Chains A and B, each alone.
Chain A
Amino acid sequence: MNFSRRDFLRTSLAGGSLVSLGGTVPAFLSRTAAAAPAAAIPGAKDSILVVVELTGGNDGLNTVIPFKDAEYEKLRPNLKIPSSQVKKINDQVGLHPAMEALAKLLDDSALCVVQGVGYPNPSQSHFRSMDIWQAASTEQSFVEGWLGKALKKLPNPPSFHLAGSNSVSPLALAGAPHRVPTINTLEDFQLRITALSGADKQEQREFIEGVVKKEAGDGNLLDFVQRTASNTYASSRRLQEIGKNYQPKVPYPPSTLANHLKLAAQLIDADIGTRIFYMSIEGFDTHANQLATHANLLRQLSEAMAAFFKDMAERGQKDRILMMTFSEFGRRAAENGSRGTDHGSAAPMLLVGGKVKSGVVGEHPSLTQLELGNLKHGIDFRQVYAAILDQWLGVPSKEVLGKAFEPAAVLQS
């Protein structure tokens, strides 16, 4: 695969059609190669962020387990993980046994476990709390997400939401200068046309792409449709040019998340300057009989993330990537009567990459000093975002988060 970002940008310009695309074209198609991402801030050059959303509220207490704490077994009579099985990170806490693959990344100094992350006055509504995490704000309503705002501060690099049709474009990416496209597979991401000849096909394509290039008046619904379609056609046409025969250096497990991470690896390998990927794994809302379900989800997560890291490492790219997991909330400290857990608050975040500060950051929340039965947070999630924005993406965090948060020490300095 020798198709470089420079080539990509050059061919993008060659057709001459970009001029007429006007303001609706993603920058990665119109910008010259000279302006390829190269943030002036140390450590931010060509860095890539992969956000993995754990949808439904991940049970943090059974993800990063305080196996030494006697309270743990009391709170979780049926759901406790025996300390003998925990993948120990230090002499106090360890990962769920299903996360063996991820635990092994500690040997590569590539896993950072941020404990007790949350925010003040936590909401226990899935949707409200998810919005808060994605907008990085506790305002009453929001229209922009933290990554969308970050993209405005970057030289508008390509970014992708990798997901099946059932998931909507996340609020986190809203506000980007150009709508971040959702892609499931490259094969599906193309416009099909039936025609008798190449010329006919070209005519039809020009019609379909031409009718969405008009200005429809700012902000109305038709304008939204046209911009989204115009963006999509342009992205799709270019993405058809990149290699379809991506060969991972390591096997990926058979899961949707792994497929999306593999697609991310392919897009990174195509070297088109992507900076942000967003994907999710759902099913964490474990109100009942959670043991097997939760273990299965953590295994999928762990194996997919580990495979992606190894694939990147084999390609010499591990220091360019940072994976970050988050969930809208953790779950209630005490289990409920149906061998599950109800909605809670603070929970750990996991960061994976060649440049993370490997090991544990922050204290495990106290199991005795609870707030309405929920774990109290020690680190505000916006402190983690601040570190990622300032030190990884090279975007001033204050401008995205609205005020200064002290960056959490999650990255190597």
Chain B
Amino acid sequence: MANTIDPQWAWAPYLPTAEAPWDLKKVGHLYRRLSFGATWRELEAGVQTGLEKTIDALFKGGDSQEQFELESVTAELKESIREANNGRQASAYWLFRMLYSPHPVEEKFTLFWHNHFATSNAKVLNAGFMLRQYDLMHRYCLSSFRAMLREMSTDPAMMVWLDTRLSKKGMPNENYARELMELFSLGIGNYTEKDIREAARAFTGWEIRDQQPFFNSEQHDAGEKTVLGQTGNWKGEDILRICLEQKSAPFFIVRKLFRFLISETIPASQDLLRPLAEQFRKSDFDIGALVRTMVRSNLFFAPAAYRTRVKAPVDFILGIVRALEGRVGTTALAQAMEELGQNLFFPPSVKGWDGGQAWLNGQTILFRQNLALAFTSTEDARFGRRTDPAALVQKYTKDGETDAVEFFLRLFLQDDLPAESRAKLSQYVQKAQKQNYPVYWTQKDAADQRLRALCHLVLTLPEFQLD
């Protein structure tokens, strides 16, 4: 089926038509893929402003970006994490940025690269190094892959994570050279064991001195190496250049971005990816231009790609918090992220999180549903009434409870659910209205309680697990 997708059509810009109009569903889709979900205002504004302006605004980011960086809470938090070497707080710091930064798209793509250059503080044990690596990825997240790859090779967190700091002339450590080829640039099958061993020699001599990368030429193996068919007295940077000259390199990155941005279920054939890989190579690995082509495309907005990703924990959690317009502390969210299986700065391995269906197993499904309850019930010690669905209904609907089913379904699901589930929700509300409430409750107390339960039920719908 997917083989029939015409690459030319796929990557041509999408233009709204009568059959495929620009509507609430498409705004929701755009915000899920490019950001961390939309608020009610963003959904409504997106429909009104139209496709071009909405996309442009997302890539540009909101006002006051500089101010956000300088804001006391951002800067102070960062400094205290460095000083206390608090890896857990680093995760809370990033979640804070994802939630409150005027430019969430950059945070989303920084996360993509964190999953690509997956480095864990479980081994690095240095929160300052982790934040420095975060800054590196944030700097290049939508610009030059070549520059990011180069700086990453001497990034202190990476040098600890894959042992380059200990790799010495005569007895090289292969860890970094292997993952550079297998996971960072080429993919398995596009190099040999010999390439790895030779490349490892080229990366010898790098150390960390005074918290900075330091090239110790005494420990560098300056001899001749043959890597991927090229022979010379290569240094690390030469290996990176050679890797990016391989045909497989642009395909490898584009394939990963395809799964992240377009779909986990559409098979990404070489033919389908070729135009993107060509663009990426010709642009000297300009990530931003590539991502824009992909997001602007027919395939991005096609039914075939719609709701074909399993929500990552970050999208599940932040999607709910954003939609409920909660001002919550992110330390509790960091804990929740860990329960759902996406502990930022602590990926399970150098391959990162597998994502997709792997996000959902017995335990994590229950954690998701129970977390949805914690957000919506207002009885949870971590979130209290800061993410109260009843308050949201009051803010945005005329008739409160009567409109609530419709409102929640549009806000969280843009109506993507079977009629049968919708009917069951309404039935639940009707039955609940006949309940006996404590005599000391006001009518509003009772209605609010029903709205919270209703919102929880909406969030437990299987359709909500898909992006």
Which residues 73-93 of B sit at the A interface, judged by CB distance below 8 A? none
The smallest beta-carbon distance between A186 and chain B, in angstroms, is: 11
The prevalent SS among residues of A at the interface is loop
A58 at the A/B interface (Cβ < 8 Å)?
no
B69 at the A/B interface (Cβ < 8 Å)?
no
On whether the beta carbons of A221 and B366 are closer than 8 Å, the reply is: no
Most chain B CB within a 10 A radius of its CB, from A182, A183, A216, A229: A229
On whether the beta carbons of A337 and B377 are closer than 8 Å, the reply is: no
Query: What count of chain A residues pass the 8 Å CB interface test?
Result: 64
Task: Knowing A125-B182, A212-B462 are in contact, say whether A168-B361 is a contact too (CB < 8 A).
Answer: yes
Surface stretch bound by B, among A189-197, A249-257, A309-317, A356-364? A189-197
Distance in angstroms between the alpha carbons of A188 and B371 in the assembled complex: 12
Task: Knowing A214-B418, A287-B163, A338-B173 are in contact, say whether A225-B363 is a contact too (CB < 8 A).
Answer: no
Task: Knowing A166-B348, A181-B363, A336-B172 are in contact, say whether A221-B182 is a contact too (CB < 8 A).
Answer: no
Which residues 160-195 of A sit at the B interface, judged by CB distance below 8 A? 161, 163, 165-169, 179, 181-184, 188-195
Contact of A337 among B166, B178, B363, B370 (CB under 8 A): B166
The smallest beta-carbon distance between B443 and chain A, in angstroms, is: 14
On whether the beta carbons of A336 and B307 are closer than 8 Å, the reply is: no
B151 at the A/B interface (Cβ < 8 Å)?
no
The smallest beta-carbon distance between B57 and chain A, in angstroms, is: 29
The smallest beta-carbon distance between B167 and chain A, in angstroms, is: 7
Task: Knowing A225-B310, A229-B462 are in contact, say whether A191-B362 is a contact too (CB < 8 A).
Answer: no
The smallest beta-carbon distance between A200 and chain B, in angstroms, is: 6
Q: Which residues of B contact A203 (CB under 8 A)?
A: 428, 431-432
Query: What count of chain B residues pass the 8 Å CB interface test?
Result: 70
Distance in angstroms between the alpha carbons of A343 and B265 in the assembled complex: 33
A342 at the A/B interface (Cβ < 8 Å)?
yes
A222 at the A/B interface (Cβ < 8 Å)?
yes
On whether the beta carbons of A183 and B363 are closer than 8 Å, the reply is: yes
Binary per-residue interface labels of chain B (429-441) against chain A in the complex, 1 for a CB within 8 Å, 0 otherwise: 0011001110000
On whether the beta carbons of B188 and A128 are closer than 8 Å, the reply is: yes
A124 at the A/B interface (Cβ < 8 Å)?
yes
On whether the beta carbons of A165 and B363 are closer than 8 Å, the reply is: yes
Distance in angstroms between the alpha carbons of A127 and B449 in the assembled complex: 48
Given A168-B348, A179-B361, A188-B367, 14 other A-B residues pairs in contact with their CB atoms under 8 A: A166-B348, A168-B361, A194-B373, A194-B453, A199-B435, A211-B460, A221-B264, A221-B310, A229-B462, A287-B162, A287-B173, A287-B175, A340-B166, A342-B175
Q: Enumerate chain A interface residues (CB-CB to B < 8 A).
A: 55-56, 124-128, 161, 163, 165-169, 179, 181-184, 188-197, 199-200, 203-204, 207-208, 210-212, 214, 216, 220-222, 224-226, 228-229, 231-232, 235-236, 282, 285, 287-289, 336-338, 340, 342-343, 372
Listed by A's residue number, 17 A-B pairs whose Cβ atoms lie within 8 Å are A161-B361, A165-B364, A168-B341, A179-B361, A188-B366, A191-B369, A192-B369, A192-B370, A200-B453, A211-B462, A221-B309, A229-B360, A236-B366, A282-B348, A287-B175, A288-B163, A337-B173
